[in-house]
Structure formats: structure tokens, C-alpha cells
Chains A and B, each alone.
Chain A
Amino acid sequence: MFHPRLVLTALSASFLLAAAGLGATSSVASAQDVIRFGAPLPITGPLAPEAVKQQQGYDLWAEQANKAGGINVGGKKYKVEIVYSDYQSNTPRSVQTTEQMITQDKVNFMFGPFGSGAAKAASTIAEKYKVPMLAATASSSQVYDQNYKYLFGTFTPNDTLTTPLTKLVKAKATDVKKVAILARNDLFPLAIAQEMEKSAKENGLEVVYFEKYAINTLDHSATLSQIKSLAPQWVFITGYTNDLLLIRKQMVDQQMKAGVVTMIAGPAYQEFIDSAGATAENISSASWWHPAEKYDGKDIFGSTANFVKLFKDKYKLEPDYAHASAAVCGALFQMAIEKAGSLDRDKVRDELAKMDVVTFWGPVKFGANGQINSLEPPVFQIQAGKPVVLFPDAIKQGDFKLGVN
């Protein structure tokens, strides 16, 4: 006879074994004159594709910094070394990993783990040990409302994505009256959906549907049939690449049409466009950065165009905001360390806090809570298989097109 309880015991035992085996994979170099940066990432598990992006960004920065001789600390050059560790897409483990990096791997500075949830959890450790932490992919204001001194982040709050989007739709698609919002029940996708609801109501749109779907949902047909029956002119869906590909396919299956379909965060990624094919046409989205931007930065990468070129040369693919944010975090650390002229964590932290500089990522200035408040995130739309920037006007590449079939 088979007992479900035994299966559970066996499963948890095997997971523990696997966890022990995969745990500490970070390399420890003994060379001197090296600055060590800790980067906890979800290298395995459901968030693995995101870890690859961040790792590529950090690696590109480290390569460029080392190619230039290293980071200049009071006239002496230090090489950059990034210590990676896998927290297996498991938030509690990201906290352990962060502590291990600070206490055992003796890193000088920390990068945050992926996303708002894990960054918030791990920032507690950085704060405890007074180690400056730069979070590349944390946008939710709940991460920064702890008012930590050592945490900084390069994503603006979520409403900076939804507000320009709503204004644009309101201006260009005057027949949009009803909005349906479907959100993945996860920290960032849900937070951005809630901002969307707020922004829609403020702009006089009627929110006819607002629901969450569970992580790992395999089928959305019932939900989409229901949304279709409400006939919204604007369908706003949040989730990650997998969810959005699945939902988009099922929207086509259900012959669901709308004037405006917005998806966050998939369309900013090339793999979404490749996998969705023709069905990606006219999907609108917003993100924190776009390769079409034209900033002339003071950081190691210089202009946005130069960053895009270096990235394409190294990885043979177009960078998206996740790649760029990771790279700019490295570049910001470099500038703060060089300005401080010291590896003293408090001095570097103070330089980050008073930073006011233009980079390839855009103007960088952190608010009192540590979150960047100087960026103007672009709104874009997939047109003929390419993302086309619609806003801000300074980098606009095309006009908003209505109708998603």
C-alpha cells in the first residue's frame, strides 16, 4: 500500500539532499587587490531565465571594468570579481546566501537577488552588516519603505510605468471606456496591476474585471471566456514570459479582440516576441529602459548605443532592461567607489546616496528611501515584430496603433 505521507517525507528529504549538494558553488579566489561583489541569483528553478539576464549584465560590466585595468581606488587599481551563488528561486534561501556571502565569502559589496520579494528579504541582511546593496530588479515601493540606509535600487516605482501608459491610451484611443485587468498572483505582477487599476480609475475608465491567477496556472480558457463576455476595449495582463505567451495564445484561440492589449513584463524580452510570433503584433507594454534610448553617460559604458554594441558583440543578442539594469548597478558601484577613493563601506554608501549622474541607463539619483527617482520609463508597442518606443517624446520611434486581433 502506498502512503502519501511517506511520499512527502521522501520528497522533502530528496529536496534537502539536492539543496545541500547544489548550495555553495561560489568560487573563492585568493588574489589580492580585488574587489569582491556578491551576486545571489536564482540560477536554477523557475526564475532561472531571469538569473541568466542579470548574470550577463554583471559579467559585461566586470569584463569592461577589468579591461580598463580595474576600479581606481585612490590611485590604485583593483580588479573586479563577482561571486555568484544559486538560491534556487527560493526566497528564504536568498537570505541565507546573502548572509553567507557577507560572512564567509567576505564580499565587499552586494548586488540584490532577483525581483522585489527576494530583494526585500535579503536587504535585511545587508542592512544588518552595513553592506551597501544595489538591487537591479526591485521596483515595488514596499521594498524601499523600510527606509534602510544601505539599500539602493535602479527601478522606479510601478506607477511610473502605468501612468504614462494610461495617459497615452486615453489620448490616442478615445473609445476605450472599459478595462479588464488580469494579474499573476505574485509580488511585482500584482503590484503593477493594482497601480493600473488606480491609474485607470483616476483617468475615468471603468474597470470591469480585476482578478488574480495562481502561479503555474496551466490553462486560462475559462477566465478569458469570462473577460471576453464583458467586452472590454482594453485588456491589461501582468505576468512573466511563460504566463503571457500562454495567455496570448489562448486569447487568439478564444477569438478575443480588443482595441488595446497591454502585457507587462514579457514583451520587453526578445524571447516573448520570437515565441509569440504574429500574435505579438500591437501588444503594448512599458519597461524601465529600452535599447533605443539615447543617453550620454558618465559611466564606464558611456552612451546607451555603446552599451548596446558591447552587449551585442559579447552575447549576440539585443539587451533588454533586465540586462541593462544589472550592468548599470556594477557601473554605479564603480563610480561610487572611485569617488569615495576607498573601499570603506560607509563612504561608498554615502557616495551612492548623494549620486546625481547621467548614465547609459538614464539619469541616476536615489530618493531618501534608496529607490531611483530620476528615470522616465518608456512605453512601447510591438509593431512588425519589433518593439517601437511611443513615449517619452524625446526618443519616440512611432505612433500608437490600435487593434489587437
Chain B
Amino acid sequence: MLAIQVLINALVLGCLYACIAIGFSLVWGVLNVINLIHGSFIVLGAYLAWGAYNALGLSPWYSLLIAAPSFFVFGYLLQRLLLNRVITAPVLVTLTLTFGLDLILNNAMIYYFKADYRKLILNPPTGSVSIFDVVVPVDRLIATASALALTFLLYLLLRRSKVGRAIVAVRLDRDAAVLMGVNVKSIYAVAFGLGAALAGCAGVLMALIFPISPLTSSAYLGKAFVVCVLGGLGSVSGALAGGLLLALVEGVGSVYLGPAHAVTLSFVLLIIFLVVRPQGLLGRKGFE
């Protein structure tokens, strides 16, 4: 029974990890920008859900509807006004820029929200469902379903819409896309905006599950990084595969080797992937 419980836990956690990583993967895959501000976006989304619930009594499901457009605009403007200026520079320049922006955003959050840990407590609590002694918390189930829905929406957007095809085209061959009349600067901004919107929505969902503090941003960023390397950049399914693999390794590792070694194990796996299969489980050149 323990084995089944651990597997179910890993499955749910894997989807949450995918949710954390998907926006990061999109930005990295399309723009070739390692977006270090991603973790802080997630935390900001969590504060949005927390504030909306406590101040306005707004359920986190409505907060998702606020988070998606507002983070999109924020991300779009950030890319348009700042990142686009250095987008053609070597990857180190954009990395340093997002690092600096992250310092500013993170410290601004410490200033306004304090470094204290807060928790979004739903009233009444959502509780857990149990089937034959296997327990699954309802909030995690809902977050998982929402994460899958968001992932699917992104997949549809990239596959079916004109903007989505343009994003994929830019990712595949920037110069050819320009020749085909794609406005690359605008596409970059849309992609970054989408990444930010996904991070903001992930934050709203994570607020139900994890304590909220500006200090947790690095933990989210770390997970996103590992998921992208494991799953492979540039595909929606890659983020899911990476998230599930990471959660499984951590869960099984913590039961059989002890929780202190679960993290070690996941990073050993990361190194093995970097050496043996740097493109990740499902990585490929173009974004789906």
C-alpha cells in the first residue's frame, strides 16, 4: 500500500512540478533566455491569490483569471522595453539582466510583504479523498487538473493559432521567420508574456499548497531548471515528462534512501542527463 501511495503522491507532485516549469521551458526554448525571474513571478502569483482571498474573499479560481492577463501584460512589457534590447547578445547578458530584475522584484516583495511565511487557508478546507487507504489531497488534485489544462491550452495555442505557429517558427529559424514576415520582436514579447502568465498561474495554484514567502522563489526556480533539463527543452510534453520523472525519483529516493538523499539523487540524475542525454527525455529543436 505504501508503494501505491508513494506512486500516487509522485504523480500529483510531478504535475505540479510541470506546472512550475512550463513557462520557464517556453521562454528558454523560444527566446534562449534563462529567465531567472521565473521563481519570483511564481511567488508574486501566490501573493496575488493570497491577497485576493484574504482581502476580497476571492477564490483562487478567480485569481487565475486575474493572474493570467496581468502577468501576460507585465511579461510582455518587460520583454518589449528591456529584454528585447539585449536579446541578440550572448546568453550571459540576458542571464545577468534577468538576475538583476529578479533581485529587484524579490527584494521589493520582501519590502512590501516582509520575509515572513504566510499560508492561504481555504475555508472550508478542501480536505482529502481516500480510496482503499490511498489518500490524495483535493487541493493538489485540483491544482494538478488546472496544471494539465494550462499545459493543454498552451499546446493548442502553439499548434493551432497563428501566433503560436509564429512562435514555433521563430524558435526553429529566426532568420527564415523574419523573411516570412513574422515580427520577431513582437513574437518574443508574446512568448515572454506567455511564460510570465504561466508562472503567475502556477503561483496561484502553488499558494494552495506551499507556504508563501519571497524566499521560496529560488526553490521554484531550482525545480524548474531540473525539470527542463530532465524533460528536454522546447516541448510541452517534455516539461510533464521531466516533472513526473523528478517527482518519482524524489519520492522513491526518500522512502528507500531517506529524505536527505532524495535531493542528492535528483541532482545525480541531473548530472547523468547532462552528460548522457543533454537534450532531455523528449527534447527536440523546435517547440511543438
Q: Which residues of A line the B interface, CB within 8 A?
A: 2, 4, 6-7, 9-11, 13-14, 18, 44-46, 48-49, 52, 182, 185, 211-214, 216-223, 225-226, 229, 241-242, 245-246, 249-250, 252-255, 271, 275-278
Contact = CB atoms under 8 A, between A and B. Distances in A.
B260 A221 contact: no
Interface string B237-274: 00000000001001110110011101110000000001
Interface residues of B, number: 55
B135 A255 contact: yes
Contact of A212 (B10, B121, B222, B259): B259
Given A214-B259, A221-B13, A223-B254, A10 B115 contact: no
B32 interface: yes
Given A7-B95, A216-B219, A255-B130, A222 B254 contact: yes
Interface of B: 1-2, 5-6, 9-10, 13, 32, 34, 91-92, 95-96, 99-100, 103, 107, 110, 114-119, 121, 125, 128, 130, 135, 137, 139-140, 209-211, 213, 215-216, 218-219, 222-223, 247, 250-252, 254-255, 258-260, 262-264, 274
A13 B255 CA distance: 38
Contact of A214 (B99, B117, B263): B263
Contacts of B223: 218
Given A223-B259, A245-B117, A218 B210 contact: yes
Contacts of A245: 117, 119, 211
Nearest to B126: A253
A213 B259 contact: yes
Contacts of A241: 116-117, 211
Given A44-B107, A185-B260, 14 more contacts: A2-B91, A11-B99, A49-B114, A211-B260, A216-B219, A216-B222, A221-B13, A221-B251, A225-B2, A242-B117, A245-B119, A249-B211, A254-B135, A255-B128
Contacts of B125: 252
Contacts of A6: 91-92
Contacts of B218: 216
Contact of B255 (A18, A222, A255): A222
A245 B207 CA distance: 13
A275 B210 contact: no
A49 B213 CA distance: 10
A48 B110 contact: yes
Given A2-B32, A4-B274, A277-B121, A214 B262 contact: yes
A11 B96 CA distance: 8
Contact of B128 (A46, A219, A254): A254
A14 B259 contact: no
A218 B218 CA distance: 11
A102 to B, nearest CB: 28
B119 A249 contact: yes
Nearest to B20: A218
Contacts of B32: 2
A59 to B, nearest CB: 16
